[in-house]
Amino acid sequence: MADTNFDVVIVGGGPGGYVAAIRAAQLGMKVAVVEANHLGGICLNWGCIPTKALLRSAEIYHYMKKAKDYGLSCDNPGFDLDAVVKRSRGVSKQLNQGVGHLLKKNKVTVIDGWGKLAGGSKGARKVAVTKDGKAVTELTGKHVILATGARARELPGLEADHKLVWTYKDALVPDTMPKKLLVIGSGAIGIEFASFFNTLGAETTVVEVMDRVLPVEDAEISAFAKKAFEKQGMKILAGASVKELKRGKDSVTCVVEQKGKTQEISVDRVISAVGIVGNVEDIGLEGTKIKVDKTHIQTNEWSETDEPGVYAIGDLTGPPWLAHKAEHEGVICIEKIAGLKGVHPLAVERIPGCTYCHPQVASIGLTEEKAKAAGHDVKVGRFSFIGNGKAIALGEPEGLVKTVFDAKTGELLGAHMIGAEVTELIQGYSVAKTLETTEEDLMHTVFPHPTLSEMMHESVLDAYGKVIHM
């Protein structure tokens, strides 16, 4: 490279890294992104996007099997797993190329290789880049942003072998359609894969160490989800743990302990989805002031580490580990570096979470339980999908919208939803929280008819004894 001096060097080209790079370029900075694998990171290549492509195929298959309910005919619906996977990989490839185009358009220098801190001080940070063990270049940046992401956590004795025991990466490109499947973990990743394979016909068991499925969600939503999954034939073992995996030639016997009792479950494949660990190894943290807690780098509200001139964003830092959180952190970090006025720290309570199982789950803010624990006197509203004309017309009458308000101030503390398209609906409450909307504002808002969004209005009305259609 002729020029190795930059205003900002970003290590990692995932959602946080490439968005930060584009924003920096927009503000006139000279930017370099160092990426060792794929632009777009895990989310675009091996996470958010390809899983949604798989789940879309499963959703269409689900409706094909229900064609008669809509007055249609679809005899002997089937699927080609290889073709489903091929479509998913094609979607990721298209978007990966799109990220490359955006970076080129914004004149961001992209370097293929592994980047790590290599000394220097604030105003002259060094990043060494290698590829396949060979030196590529050394960059100098006034600011360095670490955006190296995370990978799947593996539990001792339950490690993936990529044949019988899969990580999420393996599950995205399955070599076979398992007749029986066990999923360890019922967070967003685990339950999405469980939903996908269960819809396609796998006899699916989910083991969750916490006392309920989707444990970060509101308890009422979790209970609703459990019933819906079990109705679909899924087996949910909550408050349980996998103690041992006995691996055979083409099957696994899972030793599961629940309430002091042990049972053995034989399956074709196991998916391990027990969380993530930050990619903090071999990125040059040694000898710096950067603090790491449980594999994640500690930062302040502006994504600054304790090492001058070095920042960290995205899954490399604290929860929630979401692509849209990483993107927003990247923008805030860059705008703070640029000295823009009006930059605000990221408000975690305003970050929505979405799980694309069937039925979909979405939420933002405090659960009812956490709101009460925080000392709020709450008002809670609920509205069921069965009371909504659009939901019935869609053939999706099962679902719930729940809202939690502060009884004294009318502040929207949280919103929790389960049912068709709630991952799209949640953004309405996201905007409401950003604008610090009260129950009165929401009540006075006109929602179009017939839409699923009307349930959001009705849930607010219900919290204050004014619900119309229930």
- CATH topology identical between 5-151+277-338 and 154-274: yes
Give the active site residues: 449
Note the pLDDT tens digit of each residue in 119-160: 888 788 999 999 999 999 999 999 999 999 999 999 999 999
Choose the CATH number for 5-151+277-338 among 1.20.1250.20, 3.90.1150.10, 3.50.50.60, 3.40.50.1100: 3.50.50.60
Q: Which residues of 172-197 are buried (b: 16+ CB within 10 A; e: fewer)?
A: bebeebbebbbbbbbbbbbbbbbbbb
Q: Predicted confidence band at 380 (pLDDT cuts at 50, 70, 90)?
A: very high
Is pLDDT at 2 greater than 80 in this prediction? no
Note the pLDDT tens digit of each residue in 202-253: 999 999 999 999 999 999 999 999 999 999 999 999 999 999 999 999 999 9
Domain-by-domain residue ranges, the chain? 5-151+277-338, 154-274, 359-463
Does residue 413 contact residue 404 with C-beta atoms inside 8 Å? yes
Question: Could you tell me which CATH number the domain at 359-463 has?
Answer: 3.30.390.30
Is pLDDT at 44 greater than 90 in this prediction? no
* Residue of 453, 154, 467, 146 lying closest to 326 (CA atoms): 146
Q: Predicted confidence band at 42 (pLDDT cuts at 50, 70, 90)?
A: confident
Does residue 16 contact residue 329 with C-beta atoms inside 8 Å? yes
Rounded Cα–Cα distance for residues 404 and 219 (Å):
13
Is pLDDT at 171 greater than 90 in this prediction? yes
Q: Which pair of structure tokens corresponds to residue 466?
A: 């004014």
Mean pLDDT of 324-348: 96
Bond before 320 cis per omega within 30 degrees:
yes
Question: Could you tell me which CATH number the domain at 154-274 has?
Answer: 3.50.50.60
Q: Predicted confidence band at 3 (pLDDT cuts at 50, 70, 90)?
A: confident
Is pLDDT at 358 greater than 80 in this prediction? yes
Note the pLDDT tens digit of each residue in 58-107: 999 999 999 999 999 999 999 999 999 999 999 999 999 999 999 999 99
* Residue of 368, 377, 396 lying closest to 455 (CA atoms): 396
Q: Which pair of structure tokens corresponds to residue 239?
A: 């408050």
Q: Which pair of structure tokens corresponds to residue 108?
A: 């961001």
Note the pLDDT tens digit of each residue in 382-411: 999 999 999 999 999 999 999 999 999 999
Mean pLDDT of 409-416: 98
Q: Predicted confidence band at 442 (pLDDT cuts at 50, 70, 90)?
A: very high
Backbone conformation region of residue 55, classed left if phi is above 0, alpha if psi is from -120 to 50, else beta: alpha
